[in-house]
């Protein structure tokens, strides 16, 4: 079965750092980009950026450039989304999703990040 499994929910204080993960299985991990999407409940989906595990090369939405870092380790079929200075406004559900040309066809279950003092 093709799946992406994300790390668990996090509660973090403002200013702290965080890395969440997304592990792929059931397919050739290096053949598909991994994308990260933010969802603030009650608001829409926002594409944050992506990584090509085969290169690796990351791309970022202008809205998130400089705020997050996206990386991957194909030896353990895992992609990462990282922050160095979290703010309350980063509170959201973060999804990883596989794909590019044919859409985002496989999604992780989501990781809830709560930033609160």
How many Å apart are CA 91 and CA 14, to the nearest integer? Answer: 10
What residues between 61 and 80 interact with another protein by CB under 8 A? Answer: 61-62
Instruction: Please tell me whether residue 24 binds another protein under the rule CB under 8 A.
Output: no
Q: Which is nearer to another protein, 16 or 114 (CB)?
A: 114
Handedness of CA 101, 102, 103, 106 (dihedral sign): negative
Instruction: Please tell me whether residue 44 binds another protein under the rule CB under 8 A.
Output: yes
Q: In which element (H, E) is residue 31 found? A: none
Site for another protein, rule CB under 8 A: 33, 35, 37, 39, 44-47, 50, 59-62, 95, 97, 100-105, 107-110
């Amino acid at each position: 079965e093709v799946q992406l499994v994300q790390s668990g929910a996090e509660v973090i204080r403002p200013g702290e750092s965080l890395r969440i993960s997304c592990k792929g299985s059931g397919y050739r991990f290096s053949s598909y980009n991994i994308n990260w999407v933010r969802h603030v409940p009650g608001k829409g989906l926002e594409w944050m950026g992506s990584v090509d595990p085969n290169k690796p090369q990351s791309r970022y939405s202008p809205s998130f450039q400089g705020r997050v870092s996206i990386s991957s380790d194909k030896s353990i079929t895992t992609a990462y989304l990282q922050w160095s200075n979290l703010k309350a406004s980063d509170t959201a559900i973060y999804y990883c999703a596989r794909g590019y040309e044919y859409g985002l066809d496989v999604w992780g279950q989501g990781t809830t990040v709560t930033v609160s003092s």
